[in-house]
Structure 1
Amino acid sequence: MSQWERIFRELSLDVSLIQPCRTIDFGTLETTIRKKRQEHQEVEMYQQHEQFIHTFRQKLVRWNNGGGA
């Protein structure tokens, strides 16, 4: 038990607030990449970033469904 967990428990606070989380929110990242790509269509890097996020998301879904990466 970490020092922070001990303190939270002593104060009767929810320890899950300080524990690692596996939640990933791609919304903001995808929106930013999409806007940049629209503004700078000639920059291939934004297309690569968009493709990376898409591929990464697919791998996470497969992993989450028990299929591995």
Structure 2
Amino acid sequence: MAGLGDCEFLVRRARELVQEDTCAARAWLITARTLYPQDFNIQYEMYSIERNAERSASAGRLLYDM
């Protein structure tokens, strides 16, 4: 993971965990969003996870916030 910025590291870690443990992936992204609230990559990854999990209300709120 050398050469990655903090933000990219958090997103990559969440992507690695999404297939194994969705809750852990969401926790990584919540942490990332707390540290970097305006980063689009984090917001989009959160939206993607919610959309793929078919949580339409949560995905809709995230899409609206973007």
TM-score, scaled to structure 1: 0.48
Q: Higher relative CO (CA 8 A, sep ≥ 6), structure 1 or 2?
A: 2
TM-score by length of 2: 0.50
